């Protein structure tokens, strides 16, 4: 049976959590394969809003096993807080029962957060993600599997502390880390999560060989990929389809579906080029920010807003090969007189149809738009009623008004990718699936 990949197709914050939540009832495993707690997935069920940073979004399906995969860098303290909130909400303690931490995943330590906090250029979340990945590449980082060996080797503790403090000085961080602090931190991690640390790649591979369905959850978005994104204003890992199986510890032949998640407009958190960016103070950009509640799930920072960028979307498809698009937050555009879609760029007065490699070149690009008629604003309840009607009547996209469906059709035509589901509100019920498509399924009940 297959593995299905869910990926962000923009600059992150596209609504991946909701899509994963909807597919989880059809799966027995949900695996995060990269990133750390710089990601934020939000799931809304009625009056309950669940914000996840490391726990896979498949947590809402009671039967779904959860994996923090090989390719992740994990902050154990943040994970402990997340699990505490989940227990308060549901009474469940999933770690070691259905939530497992890869022994190959890297540990984010207080040192990594201190070092990351000195960044003044890229605009990172300051969560220690980049420094933890750097340690992995330099082969000096500590994986969960390494903790017992490090604790048993005072010489390695001393060497690690010396390296950490030396690096902190280079970025003018005065705080130092002590050997006692590192030892205590590692011992706490082992005591707290020892029962959940497993060879998860072997476990997921066995599940696939036994015919089970597996969801591979991406974090961030295509334009933030370390290799293919708007470097250096990117995250520290490979976020695309090619890393989904590798970061989960399985081979790519298992993957049969790959869904890209894109908003009906664009947002970006942090620094870096953004060709379709609009003002947050007035006009459509202000409308998107306010109606769409565009604040980062992880940082709370305001998201920059702009029109949908087809050039960037097609670039994301080039590197991940989406079998379908999920278009989210289409409802946010309700109330605008006109809706624009970027169909190309001009770079120094010359038309181009690709994303330049250099961030400074992309920053000089001027977006070329086509303009479409807008549609009236509707309440959340009206959108949910429309979505429910599409399911009960089996009408799919035909339940949408013509002006709304025209935007969906045009996104599909311009991108060359089939739109399989449209999000029209934050609630899990506020989605309209293409009739007989991969999201035209019974989603089941959440555990809260």
As a whole number of angstroms, the distance between CA 103 and CA 193 comes to 11
pLDDT of residue 122: 67
pLDDT of residue 428: 85
Beta strands in 141-224 (DSSP E): 197-198, 214-217
Closest to 369 measured CA to CA, from 236, 266, 286 = 266
pLDDT of residue 255: 97
Any known ligand binding at 349? no
Are 228 and 317 a contacting pair, CB within 8 Å? Answer: no
Any known ligand binding at 88? no
Q: Which residue has the higher pLDDT, 448 or 30?
A: 30
Q: What number of CA atoms fall less than 13 Å from residue 44's CA on the CB side?
A: 14
Q: Which residue has the higher pLDDT, 46 or 270?
A: 270
3-state SS record for 323-352 = CEEEEECHHHHCCCCEEEEEEEEEECCEEE
Note the pLDDT tens digit of each residue in 203-237.
Answer: 999 999 999 999 999 999 999 999 999 999 999 99
Q: What number of CA atoms fall less than 13 Å from residue 13's CA on the CB side?
A: 23
Q: Two tokens at 205?
A: 């591979």
pLDDT of residue 80: 97
Q: Two tokens at 445?
A: 């009940």
pLDDT of residue 448: 61
10 Å Cβ neighbour count for 412? 17
Active site residues: 13, 41
Note the pLDDT tens digit of each residue in 239-260.
Answer: 999 999 999 999 999 999 999 9
Any known ligand binding at 125? yes
Reply yes or no on whether the pLDDT at 423 is more than 60. yes
Mean pLDDT of the chain: 94
Any known ligand binding at 62? no
As a whole number of angstroms, the distance between CA 296 and CA 8 comes to 15
Cis before residue 179, ω within 30 degrees of 0? no
pLDDT of residue 118: 85
Beta-sheet pairing, 419-423 with 431-433:
antiparallel
Are 428 and 416 a contacting pair, CB within 8 Å? Answer: no
**Residue-wise burial string across 192-227, b where 16 or more C-beta atoms lie within 10 A, e elsewhere:** ebeebbbebbebbbebbeeebbbbbbbbbbbbbbbe
Any known ligand binding at 298? yes
As a whole number of angstroms, the distance between CA 360 and CA 352 comes to 15
Any known ligand binding at 17? yes
pLDDT of residue 435: 95
pLDDT band for 441, please (50, 70, 90 cuts).
Answer: confident
Any known ligand binding at 123? no
Reply yes or no on whether the pLDDT at 446 is more than 70. no
Q: DSSP readout, 162-218?
A: HHHHHHHHHTT------HHHHHHHHHHHHHHHGGGEE-HHHHHHHHHHTT--EEEE-
pLDDT of residue 270: 86
Beta-sheet pairing, 41-45 with 106-107:
unpaired
Least confident of 78-87, 96-105, 111-120: 111-120
pLDDT of residue 67: 98
Q: Which residue has the higher pLDDT, 122 or 213?
A: 213
Any known ligand binding at 434? no
Any known ligand binding at 15? yes
Any known ligand binding at 300? yes
As a whole number of angstroms, the distance between CA 322 and CA 371 comes to 26
pLDDT band for 126, please (50, 70, 90 cuts).
Answer: confident
Q: What average pLDDT does the segment 24-45 reach?
A: 88
Phi, psi torsion values for 381, nearest 5 degrees: -65, -40
For 373, which DSSP code?
E
Note the pLDDT tens digit of each residue in 67-85.
Answer: 999 999 999 999 999 999 9
**Residue-wise burial string across 39-54, b where 16 or more C-beta atoms lie within 10 A, e elsewhere:** bbbbbbbeeeebebbb
pLDDT of residue 443: 62
Q: What average pLDDT does the segment 8-32 reach?
A: 93
The DSSP H or E segment spanning 408 is helix 402-415
Report the Cα–Cα distance between both ends of the chain, in Å, rounded: 29
R_g of the chain, CA atoms, integer Å: 22
Q: Two tokens at 398?
A: 């035909």
Q: What average pLDDT does the segment 335-358 reach?
A: 98
Structural domains in the chain plus CATH codes: 3-102+199-433 (3.40.440.10), 106-194 (1.10.300.10)
Any known ligand binding at 442? no
Note the pLDDT tens digit of each residue in 262-314.
Answer: 999 999 998 999 999 999 999 999 999 999 999 866 667 789 999 999 999 99
**Which residues have C-beta within 8 Å of that of residue 184, sequence separation ≥ 6?**
none
Q: Is 93 helix (H, G, I), strand (E, B) or coil?
A: coil
Q: Two tokens at 389?
A: 């009607």
């Amino acid at each position: 049976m297959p593995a299905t990949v869910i990926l962000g197709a923009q600059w992150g914050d596209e609504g991946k959590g909701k899509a994963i939540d909807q597919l989880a009832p059809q799966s027995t495993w949900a695996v995060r394969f990269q990133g750390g707690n710089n990601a934020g997935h939000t799931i809304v069920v009625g009056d309950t809003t669940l914000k996840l940073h490391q726990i896979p979004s498949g947590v809402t399906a009671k039967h779904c096993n959860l994996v923090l995969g090989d390719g992740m860098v994990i902050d154990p303290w943040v994970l402990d807080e997340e699990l505490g909130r989940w227990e308060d909400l549901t009474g469940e303690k999933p770690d070691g029962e259905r939530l497992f931490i890869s022994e190959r995943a890297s540990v984010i330590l207080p040192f990594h957060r201190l070092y990351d906090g000195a960044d003044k250029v890229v605009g990172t979340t300051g969560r220690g993600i980049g420094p933890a990945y750097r340690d992995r590449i330099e082969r000096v980082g500590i994986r969960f599997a390494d903790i017992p060996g490090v604790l048993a080797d005072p010489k390695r503790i001393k060497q690690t502390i010396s390296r950490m403090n030396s690096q902190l000085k280079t970025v003018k961080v005065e705080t130092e880390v002590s050997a006692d602090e590192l030892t205590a931190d590692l011992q706490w991690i082992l005591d707290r999560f020892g029962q959940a640390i497993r060879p998860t790649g072997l476990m997921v591979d066995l599940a696939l060989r036994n015919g089970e369905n597996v969801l591979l959850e991406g974090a961030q978005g295509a334009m933030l990929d370390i290799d293919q994104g708007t470097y250096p204003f990117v995250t520290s890992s490979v976020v695309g389809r090619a890393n989904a199986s590798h970061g989960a510890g399985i081979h790519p032949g298992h993957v049969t579906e790959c869904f890209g998640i894109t908003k009906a407009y664009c947002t970006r958190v942090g620094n870096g080029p953004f060709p379709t960016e609009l003002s947050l103070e007035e006009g459509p950009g202000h409308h998107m920010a306010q109606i769409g509640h565009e604040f980062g799930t992880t940082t709370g920072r305001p998201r920059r807003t702009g029109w949908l960028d087809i050039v960037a979307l097609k670039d994301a498809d080039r590197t991940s090969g989406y079998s379908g698009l999920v278009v989210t937050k289409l409802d946010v555009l309700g109330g605008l007189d006109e809706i624009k879609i970027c169909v190309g760029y001009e770079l120094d007065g010359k038309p181009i149809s690709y994303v330049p490699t250099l961030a400074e070149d992309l920053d000089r690009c001027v977006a070329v738009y086509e303009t479409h008629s807008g549609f009236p604003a509707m309440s959340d309840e009206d959108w949910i009623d429309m979505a429910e009607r599409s399911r009960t009547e089996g009408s799919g996209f035909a339940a949408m008004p013509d002006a709304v469906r025209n935007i969906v059709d045009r996104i599909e035509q311009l991108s060359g990718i089939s739109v399989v589901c449209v999000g029209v509100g934050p609630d899990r019920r506020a989605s309209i699936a293409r009739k007989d498509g991969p999201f035209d399924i019974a989603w089941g009940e959440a555990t809260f």
